[in-house]
Amino acid sequence: MVDFGFSINKDRQIDFDNADRRIIEYVAKEESTIAICLICGACTATCSAGNFTDFNIRKITNMIRVGEIENLKEEIKKCMLCGKCQLVCPRGVNTRNIILKINEAIKIFHE
């Protein structure tokens, strides 16, 4: 293959036919504040785990919304449950409890 010095991005279409919506449905039922998230990213900007790893809580909540749960179990373990994200959230989203509920959902549906 000719090396042009760049590559084409991987296809990012969401396959809703194969999306696993069980986790978002469980979390939305148990922690309803997830529905008022603005996706502003303030939680991610202040995240303690994000300072030391590539952990991104906003990405995690987006992933479960579209049913993409690949690597979710490993990613979620990086959260230290410190609660800083919750303190800065402009909408009062209970982000810490969302993480706890995602963990519960993984145990229910994927173990």
What is the closest distance, in whole angstroms, from the C-beta atom of residue 32 to ligand SF4 in the complex?
Answer: 13
> Tokens 């300072």 — which residue?
51
Site for ligand SF4, residues 67 to 106, rule: CB under 6 A: 79-85, 89-91, 93, 95-96, 99
Is residue 49 near ligand SF4 by the rule CB under 6 A? yes
Listed ranges 12-20, 32-40, 66-74, 102-110: which one lies at the site for ligand SF4 (CB under 6 A)? 32-40
Q: How many angstroms separate the CA atoms of 105 and 25, rounded?
A: 9
- H/E/C letters for each residue in the chain? CCCCCCCCCCCCCCCHHHCCCHHHHHHHHHCHHHHHCCCCCHHHHHCHHHHHCCCCHHHHHHHHHCCCCCCHHHHHCCCCCCCHHHHHCCCCCCHHHHHHHHHHHHHHHHC
Nearer to ligand SF4 by Cβ, of 14 and 38: the residue is 38
What is the closest distance, in whole angstroms, from the C-beta atom of residue 50 to ligand SF4 in the complex?
Answer: 6
Is residue 57 near ligand SF4 by the rule CB under 6 A? yes
Residues forming contacts to ligand SF4 in the complex (CB under 6 A) are 37-43, 47-49, 57-58, 79-85, 89-91, 93, 95-96, 99
